[in-house]
Chain A
Amino acid sequence: MSAVITEQSQSDTTPVPEGATGIREGAFGHATGLSCRECGHGVELGPFYACPECFGPLEIAYDFPAITREEIEAGPANIWRYKALLPVPTDIEQSPNMEPGFTRLLKAHNLGRELGIDNLWVKDDSTNPTNSFKDRVVACALSAATEFGSKVFACPSTGNLANAVAAAGARAGIKTVVFIPSNLETPKQVNSAVFTESLVAVNGNYDDVNKLASEIAGEEEGWAFVNVNVRPYYAEGSKTLGYEIAEQLGWRLPDQVVIPVASGSQLTKVHKAFQELVKLGLVEDKPYKVFGAQAGGCSPVSAAYKAGVDAIRPVKPDTIAKSLAIGNPADGIYVLDICRETGGAVEDITDDEVREGIVLLARTEGIFTETAGGTTVGVLKKLVETGQLDTTLETVVINTGHGLKTLDAVSGIVGPTATIEPSYAAFVAAGIA
Chain B
Amino acid sequence: MSVSVRVPTILRTYTGGKSEVSASGATLAEVLDDLEASYAGIKARILDDKGALRRFVNVYVGNEDVRFLENLDTPTPDGTQVSVIPAVAGG
Which residues on A are within 8 Å of B, measured CB to CB?
A: 17, 38, 48-57, 134, 137, 156-158, 160-161, 204, 206-208, 210-211, 214-215, 218-219, 227-228, 231, 235, 262-266, 311, 313-314, 316, 326, 328-331, 333
Contact = CB atoms under 8 A, between A and B. Distances in A.
Interface in B12-57: 13, 19, 45, 54-57
Contact of A57 (B9, B56, B63): B56
B89 A329 contact: yes
B89 A314 contact: no
Contacts, number: 105
Contact of A210 (B8, B45, B88): B88
B54 A54 contact: yes
B83 interface: yes
A215 B6 contact: yes
Q: Which of B56, B85, B86, B91 has the most CB of A within 10 A?
A: B91
A55 B58 CA distance: 10
B90 A262 contact: yes
Interface of B: 6, 8-10, 13, 19, 45, 54-58, 60, 63, 65, 67-68, 83, 85-91
A48 B65 CA distance: 23
Contacts of B83: 211, 215
Nearest to B83: A215
A218 B89 contact: no
Contacts of B88: 49-50, 57, 210, 214, 227-228, 231, 330
Contact of A214 (B45, B54, B86): B86
A372 to B, nearest CB: 11
8 contacts: A55-B55, A55-B56, A227-B89, A231-B88, A263-B89, A313-B67, A316-B68, A330-B89
B90 A227 contact: yes
A330 B85 contact: no
Contacts of B13: 52
A137 B8 CA distance: 25
Given A55-B45, A314-B67, A333-B55, A227 B91 contact: yes
Contacts of B90: 156-158, 206-207, 210, 227, 262-263, 326, 329-330
Name A's interface SS. loop
Report, nearest first, the 5 A-B pairs whose CB atoms are least far apart.
Answer: A263-B89, A50-B86, A330-B89, A55-B56, A330-B87
A207 B54 CA distance: 18
A214 B56 contact: no
Contacts of A56: 55-56
Given A211-B60, A328-B65, A17 B89 contact: no
Contacts of A160: 91
Contact of A328 (B6, B8, B87): B87
A323 to B, nearest CB: 8
A231 to B, nearest CB: 6
B91 A137 contact: yes
B63 A208 contact: yes
Contacts of A262: 90-91
Contacts of A55: 10, 45, 54-57, 86-87
